[in-house]
Amino acid sequence: MVKITFMGAGSTVFSKNVLGDSMLSPAMHDCEIALYDIDGDRLDESFTMLQAINKNCNQGRATIRKYLGVPNRREALKGADFVVNAIQVGGYDPCTITDFEVPKKYGLRQTIADTLGIGGIFRALRTIPVMLDFAADMEAVCPNAWFLNYTNPMAMLTGAMLRATKVKTVGLCHSVQSCAEGLMHGVDMDYDDKVQWKIAGINHMGWLLEITRDGVDLYPEIKRRSREQGAPEWDKVRHEIMHTFGYYVTESSEHNAEYMPYFIKSKYPELIERYNIPLDEYPRRCVNQIEGWKRMRESLVNNPNLEHTRSHEYASYIMEAIVTNKPYKIGGNVLNHGLITNLPEKACVEVPCLVDASGVTPCFVGDLPEQLASLNRSNINVQLLTIEAALTLKKECIYYAAMMDPHTAAELSIDDIKAMCDDLIEAHGDWLPKYK
Amino acid sequence: MVKITFMGAGSTVFSKNVLGDSMLSPAMHDCEIALYDIDGDRLDESFTMLQAINKNCNQGRATIRKYLGVPNRREALKGADFVVNAIQVGGYDPCTITDFEVPKKYGLRQTIADTLGIGGIFRALRTIPVMLDFAADMEAVCPNAWFLNYTNPMAMLTGAMLRATKVKTVGLCHSVQSCAEGLMHGVDMDYDDKVQWKIAGINHMGWLLEITRDGVDLYPEIKRRSREQGAPEWDKVRHEIMHTFGYYVTESSEHNAEYMPYFIKSKYPELIERYNIPLDEYPRRCVNQIEGWKRMRESLVNNPNLEHTRSHEYASYIMEAIVTNKPYKIGGNVLNHGLITNLPEKACVEVPCLVDASGVTPCFVGDLPEQLASLNRSNINVQLLTIEAALTLKKECIYYAAMMDPHTAAELSIDDIKAMCDDLIEAHGDWLPKYK
Amino acid sequence: MVKITFMGAGSTVFSKNVLGDSMLSPAMHDCEIALYDIDGDRLDESFTMLQAINKNCNQGRATIRKYLGVPNRREALKGADFVVNAIQVGGYDPCTITDFEVPKKYGLRQTIADTLGIGGIFRALRTIPVMLDFAADMEAVCPNAWFLNYTNPMAMLTGAMLRATKVKTVGLCHSVQSCAEGLMHGVDMDYDDKVQWKIAGINHMGWLLEITRDGVDLYPEIKRRSREQGAPEWDKVRHEIMHTFGYYVTESSEHNAEYMPYFIKSKYPELIERYNIPLDEYPRRCVNQIEGWKRMRESLVNNPNLEHTRSHEYASYIMEAIVTNKPYKIGGNVLNHGLITNLPEKACVEVPCLVDASGVTPCFVGDLPEQLASLNRSNINVQLLTIEAALTLKKECIYYAAMMDPHTAAELSIDDIKAMCDDLIEAHGDWLPKYK
Amino acid sequence: MVKITFMGAGSTVFSKNVLGDSMLSPAMHDCEIALYDIDGDRLDESFTMLQAINKNCNQGRATIRKYLGVPNRREALKGADFVVNAIQVGGYDPCTITDFEVPKKYGLRQTIADTLGIGGIFRALRTIPVMLDFAADMEAVCPNAWFLNYTNPMAMLTGAMLRATKVKTVGLCHSVQSCAEGLMHGVDMDYDDKVQWKIAGINHMGWLLEITRDGVDLYPEIKRRSREQGAPEWDKVRHEIMHTFGYYVTESSEHNAEYMPYFIKSKYPELIERYNIPLDEYPRRCVNQIEGWKRMRESLVNNPNLEHTRSHEYASYIMEAIVTNKPYKIGGNVLNHGLITNLPEKACVEVPCLVDASGVTPCFVGDLPEQLASLNRSNINVQLLTIEAALTLKKECIYYAAMMDPHTAAELSIDDIKAMCDDLIEAHGDWLPKYK
């Protein structure tokens, strides 16, 4: 009998997808589900909702338990086969607000701030210690479990787990599987399973290296349409990247706008409109989500007739492949030990992986085109230094990380970068461990 | 429409399996099949047989053509999507006879002689030039085709293709998929798809690194049974290897007896009986096969009602996975660019591979247990030097290869090894290119 | 008898040092010196000067010949043991002027522009083709000669030679041997041969990883003095780098100001004065040098009593070590095949090298501190893409290179970068090959 | 003031050379010398002898102290700059006798048994624990000291130190510096400092990859002479290796006879005479040495007028280069992290190293010719498995190591190898830790 522990189970919609999917998988009908969160209300809501799904769609075959707070965490993890991680440390208020407001004082504008840049760095710094605590528990009570990480910043968190713990970790992101389809739909081309594509790089900056149908390269037609009819409104940054660097990138335009130094430039204010860059997008989404949740709660939590149909989320397919030994292919985030040969060995890369009873096994990629490797390296610099900061608690490593961020370095001086880091450390208070 | 070219199509039984399977795959019902051989009679027989299968089992949807001899080879390959290689250069008579009789004069006894040792070396030396000719044709007329090599010696031939040509090559061997099942049946244990196993190493010396059911290691029970009830009669060498080095090996006992210096030893004649080692096994099989073919021909070639049911042979599943983009897992032979981290980079290794529309992508393995890596390296030495001999035509590289063979080096002196190589070169006559 | 060919022999002062030194080395008293240039007047001047030195200081034992222009180049190189490269392609007028004036139109300010950034890129693009011509000659007429490259941009030119030719090349720069001494003098500390230091990284951004005396780390005292008494006026950028990133860097402050995005920032105009950054420094030096040469010519060229004492220039010591088989240590620029383990394999790195009769052999370094590797990688990105541009003649690779330059990317938009590249290509005219 | 600690100071002749040399080096006139041994008589003899040298040749400037036995070991090491290791664990009687007599019962004949083979394996197994104890002391009381290891088996001991401790270790052997000269003298050719040579591989199986004078390859003439006038009586094995594999090897013929499976073969008894192989050579030398020591003691120990002139031993030159920061080149044994690219990463390799105040820095070598790499790998297999045995105390790793030895595997069966290992473990008694 499979045991799945869900960290951050108060993420009601996401836990519905992953755990609803799992209960619908024949291999996991009778699974044991452990819900863990530190927010009692949200935990109760998810518990109620999943009980309904179990009853309505799974003949009640699964066993669902809830575990509230750190003292019950180890019990939640005990004997787990899979641990799904979807936590958020510090929440919208206060931490996301801090991530945006402090940099804004220095004139540094962001869109999402959950992956790279100053926001991504601090999100990692407050999340890694929590995950290392999870890891210590897992090494003790479920050393063979697979840890499926969904929390951002993906490369920093997954990299920290893989370098500092023995937990079998893979990082998962929706941006890989939807990339090719999204690109083609954006230029009014049909997509189906026969379209072959190959993606590799780093999380949120994975490269669509190949896209073909029946052996024919689709890029020329895609680029022709993009040039002639223009990029979709919501995707101007990525189309610019495709035309300028030759390849499309996995994560959305609003994200990539802040991963490179070319789009949000104080000296070129007109670019914001031209590339349709939604500054401060993430806090806006948080507010909307909080509002939306009030409306959605009724239909999910207090709906005794709630049904679930299996989604396209990777997680249940991965667990199913491991349980049933039927091969499944994913784009996973793993340590780069010679997989992408022109990225640093210590980087956390996103590559095709084979999943079956032997676990998640990454595939060899080789060299990326050098311009793509260059862009990846410019982000990996920040990731490696942030992980070093979190593992050593040396304050200067935070400065290093921030100074290597292409957008931050383009916009601010050394003095301002250091001052901004100091402000952020202070604003975080106890959300961060003490730095030396 | 998929085009499959079969090199050595006169291998009637094998071409029936691979091409019969292909016609039964929905994705390849309407494939074009090009049969190539240099033996007109055998080519005709395979052609007749496959026409019957196409008619009886495939509503005649496939198109089958035959191409006789080198002048028609390029036409056979033209536009191919897949090239299946199952040639044998030099045949039983004269070359296999030579491979056994000349070494025997020096007191060097062999069992199969198709993989390593002096027989394997010369089989490679006469086969590689033919395959490089195939490669030159393929680079010209079907540069994107996948070359599925089934011919032995696998590591030497596949390695030569991958290092000296641009042809997309993978080497395939039955020994991987049947390994775990065979081991368990040999000690009277049940096997099914839920048994998880992981195999990596080199062809014919791949290691069963893991074998579990429901997360439980099955090796202790397997070893206990083997010790208590004894190894199966036909598998005493491999069980000895398992007890001595800790892990079971993919290829059969009669093969492995000649890959290591421990079994066929002039100083310990009693080991032949103790380990039940069938000396001169391969020539005996050849004679039987030639006899058997006379009886079988009637039922296969001259049988207008011939049917075919899909076999477990990898080839059609690989082609199907590439055509349909549904992932499939194989053990494939590929260049080791950091896949098995304690084997040489230039070696041809056998590792798990993911197959889909992106082709055959090898997976990362990491370090083998050092004693297994050591045994592999002792064989890789011979493989690398044989490839170097074939690519440079330097006679001393043949000596080097023979001298690094553990069995040959254990049994013979330097003078005898060199003299034996010279004799073999002379006996081969025009079956070998001229060496310097 | 050793033959030394000097490419760009019209560099009178530099050829005096290298070749005067060589004649003064006992191992090379009777060397043959081949002077090559395309400027007849400058070539004559160097020839006259070196004849005088040979007569006055070397008893006329060396043989000196001059070779003017491309048709005589191969003869100059024939049979050479050493080829010293000190060419400049395009000169101050027109090419250096172009390198500064065109970017200035886009608001991009530079200091030296010979290493990285838009100036370094175009300097490489016009120089690499000439060097590949040299290499073709060398492969034909002196395949065993060592090529000692002094021309900038060092990493791009040396990297191109090492990747695209078979010529044994090492790149040499003065900045390594003078780094530790300069740093200590700048803070009023004594320096002598007992000070141990270790430098590795890339050219012009090599890192002073260790500086000790009698096993005691000198960095704390150096940093204390720098903080208390302030950085020297001429070295404020490097001291800032040392305080911010922990380590001192080899090349001067005026150079490093444009290798990173922190110093020349349109949004922070005050930094120019604060860090004492000499914008447009290189053209100014060129003008002064041209002026100075008029005065110096008299004393060097038309001075029949000219003497020479051996300088600290590396070149003659390297040649001497190779000729005499006495070990000598240098900082050399070589391909990074696992020397600095967290920089890309294809990068040209500057590492300690052992020189003796076996040639120039690079030493293993290992990982750099990650923040230093990050800074190096941000420059290596540009170098690798510039080399790719020069070797493939693909115009988009020029854009890629320019867009990866930290300073350029910080200051300009994608559109402006591309337009600036186009302008520079056009302004170069026939100084560049045709790009696709 | 430099402190040199000598482990195994009772090796009177060797300590005279190393420490006499050191006192004669101007940089170390006033050194502090700590003599450590567990044999009080031998320690006293060395102490008396070195006092005389200090007085007679060094004006008494050095300070010499003696430390007897384990309780005084840490004091001996305290604050050391250099630790020279020349211990022998178990001595001639009983351990060397055991190493030869037990294998002989199984028909396994040896010559030296201090490097590889069954004798080398057990010598390592009893020595590594002692050296790990040294390392623990050094990490505590002289963490920055360099450990210069002279004890055999070199690759196994040095490899164990480098992999299991933090001590800065380099392994040193006389066979490198005397190799080229010995080869040339053996065929009546003159040798001087102008002969260029390059050696790399593993200890005792380092390869003379290049030997030239004035750029001319000397191998053809050397081989011609060897063929025409025959190999020297004392060097027939190495000349056979040179003719058969193309390159000369560093360690002597009597050593290499047991590193490969070609020379001591029960099936070819005539080879012993033909190659002039001195079976049981090492015990004979030990007996002679013990005899000789009785005679020599008088002249060394009880000679108040004893003088010393500087020898060619590496050790004092290495210490001098580190102290004075003047570069020196050695062949050193170090971990292979990509230095010899076709040998395993974990192997301990012998490569050119640069020595100066920055310590011992290994140089990059690249690929060896594949036949040489193959021979090295056949020995590295044993080394890696022996180290694994010593570090894990798993008995099966001892079997693995013995079974991978080319000579042992050629001569004995699996059963005999295991039985011989068991006998040796028992015969060693408390000289070995308890194996599981």
D337 with C339: Cβ contact below 8 A: no
Q: How far is C187 from chain A (nearest CA, A)?
A: 23
Which region, left, alpha or beta, applies to residue B127 given φ > 0 means left and ψ of -120 to 50 means alpha?
A: alpha
Q: Please indicate whether, in this complex, the C-beta atoms of A364 and B366 are within 8 angstroms of each other.
A: no
Please check the confidence at residue A298 and state whether its pLDDT lies above 90: no
Task: Give long-range contacts, CB 8 A cutoff, 24+ apart: C94-98.
Answer: C94/C427, C94/C431, C95/C122, C95/C123, C95/C126, C95/C428, C95/C431, C96/C282, C96/C283, C96/C286, C97/C283, C98/C122, C98/C424, C98/C427, C98/C428
Residue C313 is predicted with a pLDDT of: 87
Residues 6+ apart with CB under 8 A from C372: C201, C207, C245, C246, C247
pLDDT band of residue D294 (cuts 50, 70, 90) is confident
Are the C-beta atoms of residues D343 and B345 closer than 8 Å to each other? Answer: no
Q: Does residue A295 surpass a pLDDT of 90?
A: no
Q: Is D181 on the interface with C (CB under 8 A)?
A: no
Distance (Å, rounded) from C-alpha A99 to C-alpha A119?
A: 5
* Residue B167 host element (H or E): none
**Token pair belonging to D431:** 């000289």
Task: Give me the pLDDT at residue D76, please.
Answer: 98
Sort B367 into a burial class: Cβ within 10 Å, 0-12 / 13-18 / 19+.
middle
Using an 8 Å CB-CB cutoff, list chain D residues near C325.
193-194, 196
Nearest C-alpha of chain D: how many angstroms from C319? 14
Is beta strand A205-213 parallel, antiparallel or unpaired with respect to A196-202? Answer: antiparallel
- Residues of chain B positioned with their CB less than 8 A from the CB of A352: 354, 358, 361
Question: What is the average pLDDT value for chain B, to the nearest integer?
Answer: 97
- Could you say which of A262, A346, A411 has the minimum Cβ distance to residue C413? A262
**Band of the pLDDT at B30, cuts 50, 70, 90?**
very high
In 3D, which of A90, A78, A121 has the Cα closest to residue A8? A90
Cβ distance D354 to C358 less than 8 Å, yes or no, reads no
Q: Does C327 touch chain D (CB under 8 A)?
A: yes
Binary contact (D409, B262; C-beta < 8 A)? yes
Asked whether the beta carbons of C263 and C249 are under 8 A apart, the reply is no
- Provide the pLDDT for residue A251: 97
Q: What's the gap in Å between the CA of B386 and the closest CA on chain D?
A: 10
To which residue do tokens 């450390």 refer? A425
CA angle in degrees (0–180, nearest 5) for B129-B133-B136: 135
Burial class (CB in 10 A: 0-12, 13-18, 19+), D112: buried
- Contact predicate B124/B386, CB 8 Å: yes
d(CA B255, CA B96): 15
D29-85 confidence digits (pLDDT tens) = 999 999 999 999 999 999 999 999 999 999 999 999 999 999 999 999 999 999 999
Residues of C tagged active-site = 174
Q: What is the DSSP string of A304-354?
A: TT------S-HHHHHHHHHHH---EEEEEEEE-SSSBTTS-TTSEEEEEEE
Which of C246, C371, C414 has the CB atom closest to A244's CB atom?
C414
Rounded distance, CA B212 to CA B218, Å? Answer: 5
Q: Do A341 and C346 touch (CB under 8 A)?
A: no
The pLDDT of residue B405 is above 90: yes
pLDDT at B419: 98
Q: Which of C267, C344, C397 lies closest to A267 in CB terms?
A: C267
Tell which residue, B162, B155, B153, has the closest CA to residue B132: B162
- Do C and A touch, 3+ Cβ pairs within 8 Å? The answer is yes
Contact between residue C60 and residue C54 where contact means Cβ atoms under 8 Å apart: yes
CB of B356 within 8 Å of any CB in chain A? Answer: yes
B283-328 pLDDT, tens digit each = 999 999 999 998 888 889 989 999 999 998 889 999 999 999 999 9
**CB within 8 Å: C381 and A378:** yes
Chains near D with 3+ CB pairs less than 8 A apart are B, C
| A339 → chain B, closest CA residue | B364
Inter-chain contact A240–C381, Cβ cutoff 8 Å?
no
Pair type for strands C82-85 and C146-149? parallel
A-chain residues within 8 Å CB-CB of C375?
A: 404
Eight-class DSSP state of C336? -
Quickly state the pLDDT bin for B31 (edges 50, 70, 90): very high
Determine the pLDDT at residue B424.
Answer: 98
Contact status of D345 with chain B (Cβ, < 8 Å) = yes
Structure tokens belonging to residue B331: 């053990």
B400: how many CB neighbours lie within 10 A of its CB?
Answer: 27
Its ipTM equals: 0.97
**pLDDT for D165-188, tens place per residue?**
999 999 999 899 999 999 999 999
Q: Residue range B137-161: average pLDDT?
A: 98
Nearest CA in chain D to C367: D337
> Cα separation of D417 and B97, whole Å?
35
For B95, which DSSP code?
A: I
Give the single-character DSSP code of B27.
G
Give the nearest chain D residue to C211 (CA atoms): D358
Q: Whole-number mean pLDDT of chain A?
A: 97
Per-residue pLDDT tens for A191-226?
998 899 999 999 999 999 999 998 899 999 999 999
Give the residue from chain C lying closest to A408, CA to CA.
C410
Asked if C406 reaches chain A (Cβ–Cβ under 8 Å), the answer is yes
CB contact under 8 A, A400 and C371: yes
Chain C contact for D338, CB < 8 A? yes
What pLDDT score was predicted for residue C1?
86
At D117, list the tokens: 């083979």
CA distance C329 to chain D (A): 6
Distance (Å) from the alpha carbon of C154 to chain D's nearest alpha carbon: 21
Q: Which member of D174, D255, D337, D428 is catalytic? A: D174
Record: contact A328-B329, CB cut-off 8 A: no
C61 touches chain D (CB under 8 A): no
% of chain A at pLDDT higher than 90: 96
Q: Which amino acid is at C385?
A: L
Residues of A in contact with C386 (CB under 8 A): none
Check CB contact under 8 Å for D413 and B385. no
Contact D68, D41 (CB under 8 A): no
Q: Give the B window 358-377 contacts with D, CB below 8 Å.
A: 370-371, 373-375, 377
Question: Stretch D369-391: mean pLDDT, rounded?
Answer: 98
Percent of chain B clearing pLDDT 70 (strictly above): 100
Give me the pLDDT at residue C114, please.
96
Contact C191, C208 (CB under 8 A): no
Q: What is the mean pLDDT of residues D361-387?
A: 98
Phi, psi (5° rounding) for residue B244? -80, -40
**Which positions of chain C have pLDDT values less than 70?**
none
Quick: pLDDT tens for A158-186: 999 999 999 999 999 989 999 999 999 99
How near does any CA of chain B get to the CA of D274, in Å? 12
| Gap from D380 CA to chain B (nearest CA, Å) | 9
**How many inter-chain contacts (A to C, CB under 8 Å) are there?**
100
Query: Considering only CA atoms, which of D142, D145, D4, D165 is closest in space to residue D86?
Result: D4
